[in-house]
Chains A and B, each alone.
Chain A
Amino acid sequence: MEIISLADLYSISPLLFLTLGAFGILIVDVFSKESWLRASYTSIFILAALSFAFQLADVAAPGKTAFWDAIYVDSFSIYFQVLILVGALLTVMLSHGRIAQEGVRSLGEFYALFLMSTIGAIIFVSAAEMVTLFLGLEIMSMALYCMCGSAVHSKDSAESALKYFFLGSFSSAFMLFGIALMYGVSGTLSLAESAAVLSSSNSGLVPIAVGFVLIGFVFKIGAVPLHFWAPDVYQGAPTTVTAYMACVVKAAAVGAALRVLWTSFGSDTLFGIWASAVWIIAALTMVVGNLVALRQRSLKRMLAYSSIAHAGYIMVAFLAPHQGGGSAVLFYIAVYTAMTLGAFGVVLAVASPHSSEPDADDIHRFQRLGYRNPVLAGCMTLFLLSLAGLPPGLAGLLGKFYVFNAAVQANYVGLAIIGVLCSAVSCYYYLRVIVAMYFIPKEESDSDSLAPLAPVSLPFAGVIGICAVAVVTLGLFPSILHDGAQFVIENF
């Protein structure tokens, strides 16, 4: 037990590769200033990590832990590792050639931070005890704060970083306090072991601990009422970072929240404590996210609010642990990642490269995109319809199908009704982009005054294409992914 076994190392091999990459790139940075080199270097390490994550599936077993019970090696953590790594890979492809234009100077450091943040996200979702969980959260967040502010000469970027840092530290402190209380009550930091103690304890501290931990997660997921940071941070940060936060970080937070809520707080008594809170949070998140998104002109901001709204849908399924809610969450978060990353890809391709312009990603830049670049507009239409849950965007519709189906089965009909009504509201702002892309006649559009669209670079086309294929495939054959998700939850 004293020395680290090979099996232990193997079980964290994705993390090792990412760490290696993070340090290595700082050295590469010294010798070469080529942007593509650094991006592809980063991608290679992510790919290596990804392949090892797939390998880990063979050794995974329900409840199996490694590193003295610090991290889980089960299918749940591997599912999220793969999701995070795929998301990170696509984000790197989106970053190539783009972040430099958005004002990021030191690319080597950026990619190093990027990899570290991904490391944090993976630790966050696979943590088996509270301190590791917190470490993961902090590694992820610290790197993110810096990434938000990496456009050093942009005021927005600095504002975004500072806001995120202050609010994020605050919420982390809450979470840490919750963890401390948990430890105080149960005497253990292990997620699994604390469950039994917490559920049998009648200490008044338990609800407080649950509440504080929940606050930390609600903040990271970006759910109402702790969502105020999201739009400003999302808008100010370089768009690549925004896409990363909206997809990868959100996926990690959802995974970790699901793990803690269902493992440590999973007993019936504790479920009663947090269920009503999550009910209210989910309802508020769906309502506020969608209503505020209605008024946005900036596409980045719109996607930010839409990501808040989708967090709400996902949280609905938290309430149905025994009714298929778990696989619904896993399916939804994967589909959501594909749709949102694809949409961000299109926004990046269309928006002005100089994000300092006040209307860099304003909706009017999308005017007549359907005629200026039909393929790009077609993909965007697919992503938007999928986000709205309208066929032919079947993947998004099926995501909602699983989520609300689970909610109805768990007898949360009211919440499901709120959810679908909100999703009807969301059609308005998603369709508005389609209006701009297709319905504005030449005479009324100001697209002529805009700079002509730059040709879409290969990595961008790759990201958009991969996401579009994923959305179509998951829409037609949802069972491919959902059966896997079901397996993961059965081995939770």
Chain B
Amino acid sequence: MENTSYFLGIFPLLTTMVFLPLVGAILLYLIPGFSGQDEHTRSRVTWFTLGVSGLTFIVSIACLNRFDPSVVTAQLVERTPWIERFGVQYYLGVDGISILLVLLTTFLMPIIVLASHSVKTNLRGYLFHMLVLECAMLGTLLAFDAFLFYVFWEFMLFPMYFIIGIWGGKRRIYATLKFVLYTVVGSLLMLVGLFYVVWAYAAQNGGEITFSLYELSRSVDLSLSEQIWLFAGFALAFGIKVPLFPFHTWLPDAHVEAPTGGSVVLAGVLLKMGLYGYIRYAYPLFPQGAAYFAPVLATLAVIGIVYGALVAWAQEDIKKLVAYSSVSHLGYCVLGFVAFNALSTTGSLYQMLNHGISTGALFLLVGVLYDRRHTREISEYGGLASKVPVFAFLFLVFTLSSIALPLTNGFIGEFLILAGSFQEFPVLTAFAVTGVVLGAVYMLTLYMKTMFGELNEEKNGSLTDVTPREIVTFAPLFVLVFVMGIYPQPFLRLMEPTVHQYIEDVSRKMVKVGSPIEEPADGTSYAQKSGGNAARAQLAFESFNVERVKPVANSPLNFEENL
């Protein structure tokens, strides 16, 4: 036993998890039996990829098994120098903020592989890029070295570029180039900002250079104006990826043109990377810059929520509708994080998972329809419920999850976000709430138009219901919608200590003595104000927990009673 645990102690779980998909991807091209185009080879290729992604999922479960929620820093750390002279390390770790996103990634990938049978041409290439993408995404989530993060961050572009470009719709080339160029512009500016931080650190620490996130954020000392500029650079890079309101235009294009699996992975994981970048890098490195820009970000997020919802309402293409709903949903996540108390940030992280599940499932459902009818026009469908009842049922469940009906996962996330944000941005949150209503409007309208009423198109008469294979695809998502909606504690418990510590650390640095920003008019210092908020948030957070004996009466956070 001793030996086993020792072996487990040194076994590089995270490296295995990151590079297993890459090895699988390369094997796809090295194993000779995988080169044909016939049905037999296709299924062999699919099974192989399913095996690789399933194994990756198992490794991620093993990570979860060894993950200790009470530790608030990176765990399962693996670090070796990479570019020694510049202090760049190969530095992987996982903490309470990333663990669930990692699991989401590894969990979604087998589902995407299962759903890939609709890819008609060059299935092997498609799965190759999917596996490469998984490697890049996991690397991005696990990197604790800023330059390594940057490398993985850019690495995510390459497979996605191919997935949209080869297997996408009619305007795929436009969409994919737009996707890459938008992202690259932002991220290269981020790179320059990163160099600036590193050299500022080196100047303050006797010439010692490091790209390690912890060391940089702990001891680099930047003036307010530097922080504002640098945060702006980082915020642009991450804001494009989220996407925040004025930078969101690449998203509908990319989503609409991407093949089903591409859309799922885009909505499920890639969009989260933007917000993850804020959480992991922009905020800890430039807390004062973050405080300075928080109102701006919150405003943009709320504009995104309302605007995304309104535009989604007006869409005639189902996929575009879901894409714009992503803009709206991600707005919630950003708002929740920017409000920056434990409650809303937890909600934001939780909502990221929810969005991955519900929107991912919706894209899969759209894919199912598209495979059968080769159109995504809403007007082409109507009265499907009578023809494909199981499909209609699944569609209903994920629609409800997307509009955050209580008992579904979406409800928990949105509730936490709105409750938490209200303490910081009452007015903005009031606007954001309208997004909830609008969300119900456009999603239910979509459901009504497509599923209810008369079977209006003759072609829809021959529609077949979901196949067993598709049911297998949807089952895990279906289960998670309810598990996460009814019993969120196990998930929240994983992130809770880290989030608390994180909020405390960063908000302490948001204002230093003597800095000129944000002196509230009522005479209290900002530190007091944010301290007060932190305390209130703490209270609210605890009231949310089951362990708490009696919830505070008349509190909006009185969660169990509301349930």
Binding site for B on A (CB under 8 A): 385, 390-392, 394, 397-398, 401, 404-405, 408-409, 413, 416-417, 420-421, 423-424, 427-428, 431-432, 434-435, 438-439, 478-479, 482-483, 486
Contact = CB atoms under 8 A, between A and B. Distances in A.
B81 to A, nearest CB: 9
29 contacts: A385-B158, A390-B158, A391-B136, A391-B152, A391-B157, A391-B158, A392-B158, A405-B195, A408-B195, A409-B195, A413-B196, A416-B192, A420-B191, A424-B188, A427-B180, A427-B184, A428-B177, A428-B181, A431-B177, A432-B177, A435-B165, A435-B173, A438-B166, A439-B166, A439-B176, A478-B83, A479-B84, A479-B85, A483-B85
Given A427-B184, A479-B84, 9 more contacts: A391-B136, A391-B155, A397-B154, A401-B86, A409-B199, A413-B192, A428-B177, A438-B165, A439-B173
Contacts, number: 82
B433 interface: no
A408 B196 contact: yes
Interface in B111-143: 136
Interface residues of B, number: 33
B250 to A, nearest CB: 14
B181 A405 contact: no
Contact of B162 (A398, A405, A417, A438): A438
A435 B147 contact: no
Nearest to A378: B29
Nearest to B153: A391
Interface in B328-346: none
B240 to A, nearest CB: 12
Contacts of B165: 434-435, 438-439
Contact of B83 (A398, A432, A438): A398
B185 interface: yes
Contacts of A397: 151, 154
B161 interface: yes
Q: Do most interface residues of chain A lie in helix, strand or loop, or is the interface mixed?
A: helix
From A397, A404, A420, A438, name the one whose CB has the most chain B CB atoms within 10 angstroms.
A420
Contact of A401 (B147, B155, B162, B172): B147
Contacts of B192: 404, 408, 413, 416-417, 420
Contacts of A432: 177
A391 B154 CA distance: 6
B64 interface: no
A408 B193 CA distance: 9
Contacts of B184: 390, 424, 427
B189 interface: yes
7 A-B pairs with least C-beta separation: A420-B188, A391-B155, A408-B195, A439-B165, A424-B185, A424-B184, A409-B199
A482 B82 CA distance: 12
A389 B84 CA distance: 21
A400 B152 CA distance: 16
A394 B157 CA distance: 13
A435 B177 contact: yes
A378 B133 CA distance: 17
Contact of A404 (B177, B180, B195, B202): B195
Contacts of A483: 85
A432 B147 CA distance: 27
A434 B191 CA distance: 25
A479 B83 contact: yes
Interface string B323-362: 0000000000000000000000000000000000000000
A430 B86 CA distance: 29
A70 B501 CA distance: 66
B458 to A, nearest CB: 29
A352 B147 CA distance: 42
A424 B85 contact: no
Nearest to B22: A392
Given A397-B154, A428-B177, A435-B173, A421 B195 contact: no
B532 to A, nearest CB: 38
A401 B145 CA distance: 15
A432 B180 CA distance: 12
Contacts of B196: 408, 413
From A391, A421, A434, A478, name the one whose CB has the most chain B CB atoms within 10 angstroms.
A391
Contacts of B161: 431, 434
Interface string B160-200: 01100110000011001100110011001101100110110
Contacts of B202: 409
Contact of B85 (A392, A420, A421, A482): A482
A394 B199 CA distance: 22
A418 B162 CA distance: 28
Contacts of B199: 408-409
B134 to A, nearest CB: 14
Contacts of B181: 424, 427-428
A287 to B, nearest CB: 15
